[in-house]
């Protein structure tokens, strides 16, 4: 069966404060570590009341320290917000502490609004516009040490210098992202859970255009999907009501904590709002394990991902853990041997 991984935003709910959401992430990581999931990636978002995860590198160290098997990484570090040298040093340090278990996923967007993006960068440098390629190139140069002759960084070393960067992945939701990942020869993770671009087109394009590199000899495409699984279709639909109301509000620019099922069920939806929810259902897979598999299979067959990365945003933490347990069983994940 296809490998499964986890994408975690450390979701804040109306009943869970941000600090508790971070602790829930650590608890969930411990849980899936024993189920056979391949990776546990953490997001970077800023100034969002619904997400408690502005610093994935901090969480990576915490989670890697309390797990034994699963790879831990960023999904992703928003490179426009950071000096490439800082990213290189932090992830080389993580790789030194947890060798062979760290991933560096990179995103092109700032992961926030314009004012917050400016606050993040106003004391950093004077680069303007979309400078992702420039930053990515610099990050690679900190690893290869191939700055041109006379470059001011030639005498600067990213420490620890006896440790390589972990595997680098490019995240995206467009054909541009898939083309870039293919051209630089890196792994690619496509955000089906919020992308407007066709996932099949992006995944096929990446695989067909992939150029082998020092990073990877062969393409590896991850498909990130939103899934809510429960024992029955009815229970899964009930859990999904929180996510759907939250998504409706996000589309209006209201980034509020995830509401309870009771609040979502009682919400007086208009006809246009119900239409929006139905339209968003193409990016959400809800049901019992058998139902979820049935709904997912056409997308898997068409996009041929090497791996599925699952994000599950529900109000109840135990229900979220159970959703991942049910998926692990349905997809035949093999539990790691005890260490």
Domain at 119, CATH number: 3.20.20.30
Smallest CA-to-CA distance from 116 within 54, 41, 43 is with 54
Return the minimum-mean-pLDDT range out of 22-26, 106-110, 217-221, 272-276. 106-110
Does residue 271 lie in a domain region?
A: no
Helix orientation angle between 289-303 and 199-209, rounded to the nearest 10 degrees: 40
Q: How confident is the model at residue 194 (pLDDT cuts 50, 70, 90)?
A: confident
Beta bridge partners of 77: 106
Average pLDDT over residues 22-30: 99
Task: Answer yes or no: is pLDDT of 79 > 90.
Answer: yes
Question: In angstroms, how far apart are the furthest CA atoms of the chain?
Answer: 66
Please give the Cα distance from 84 to 162 (Å, whole number).
18
Rg (CA), the chain: 20
Does residue 251 lie in a domain region?
A: no
- Asked if residues 221 and 305 have their Cβ atoms less than 8 Å apart, the reply is yes
pLDDT of res. 184: 96
Does residue 276 lie in a domain region?
A: no
Please give the Cα distance from 275 to 40 (Å, whole number).
33
Please give the Cα distance from 195 to 188 (Å, whole number).
14
Task: Answer yes or no: is pLDDT of 120 > 90.
Answer: no
> To the nearest whole number, what is the mean pLDDT of the chain?
94
Does residue 99 lie in a domain region?
A: yes
Average pLDDT over residues 28-49: 96
Does residue 208 lie in a domain region?
A: yes
Q: How confident is the model at residue 66 (pLDDT cuts 50, 70, 90)?
A: very high
Q: How confident is the model at residue 127 (pLDDT cuts 50, 70, 90)?
A: low
Does residue 169 lie in a domain region?
A: yes
Average pLDDT over residues 241-266: 95
Structure pTM? 0.94
Does residue 261 lie in a domain region?
A: no
Task: Count how many domains the chain has.
Answer: 1
Q: In sequence order, what DSSP letters do the residues of 161-215 get, joined into one string?
A: TTSPPPPEEEEESSHHHHHHHHHHT-EEEEETTT-SS-HHHHHHHHHHH----SS
Q: Which of 113-127, 158-172, 186-200 has the highest mean predicted lDDT (pLDDT)?
A: 158-172
Q: How confident is the model at residue 313 (pLDDT cuts 50, 70, 90)?
A: very high
Task: Answer yes or no: is pLDDT of 123 > 90.
Answer: no
Does residue 88 lie in a domain region?
A: yes
Domain range for 87 is 4-236+284-330
When comparing pLDDT for 128 and 32, which is higher?
32
Q: How confident is the model at residue 57 (pLDDT cuts 50, 70, 90)?
A: very high
């Amino acid at each position: 069966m296809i490998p499964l991984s986890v994408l975690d935003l450390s979701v804040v709910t109306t009943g869970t404060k941000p600090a508790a959401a971070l602790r829930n992430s650590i608890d969930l990581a411990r849980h899936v570590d024993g189920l056979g999931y391949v990776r546990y990636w953490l997001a970077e978002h800023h100034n969002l009341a619904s997400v408690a995860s502005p610093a994935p590198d901090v969480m990576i160290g915490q989670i890697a320290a309390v797990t034994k098997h699963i790879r831990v990484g960023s999904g992703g570090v928003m490179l426009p917000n950071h000096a490439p040298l800082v990213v290189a040093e932090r992830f080389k340090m993580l790789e030194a502490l947890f060798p062979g278990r760290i991933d560096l996923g990179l995103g092109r967007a700032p992961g926030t609004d314009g004012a917050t993006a400016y606050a993040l960068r106003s004391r950093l440098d004077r680069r303007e516009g979309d400078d992702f390629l420039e930053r990515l190139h610099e990050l690679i140069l900190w690893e290869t040490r191939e700055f041109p002759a006379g470059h001011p960084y030639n005498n600067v070393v990213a420490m620890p210098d006896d440790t390589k960067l972990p595997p680098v992945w490019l995240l995206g939701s467009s054909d541009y992202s898939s083309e870039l990942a293919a051209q630089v020869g890196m792994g690619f993770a496509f955000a089906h859970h919020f992308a407007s671009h066709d996932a099949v087109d992006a995944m096929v394009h990446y695989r067909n255009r992939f150029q082998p590199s020092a990073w990877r000899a062969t393409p590896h495409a991850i498909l990130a999907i939103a899934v809510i699984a429960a024992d029955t279709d009815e229970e899964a639909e009930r859990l999904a009501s929180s996510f759907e109301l939250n998504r409706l509000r996000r589309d209006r620019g209201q980034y509020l904590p995830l509401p309870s099922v009771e609040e979502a069920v009682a919400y007086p939806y208009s006809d246009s709002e119900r239409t929006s929810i139905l339209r968003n259902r193409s990016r959400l897979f809800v049901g019992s394990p058998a139902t979820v598999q049935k709904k997912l299979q056409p997308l898997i067959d068409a996009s041929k991902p090497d791996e599925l990365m699952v994000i599950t945003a529900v109000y109840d933490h135990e229900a979220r853990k159970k959703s991942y347990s049910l998926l692990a069983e349905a997809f035949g994940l093999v539990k790691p041997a005890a260490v």
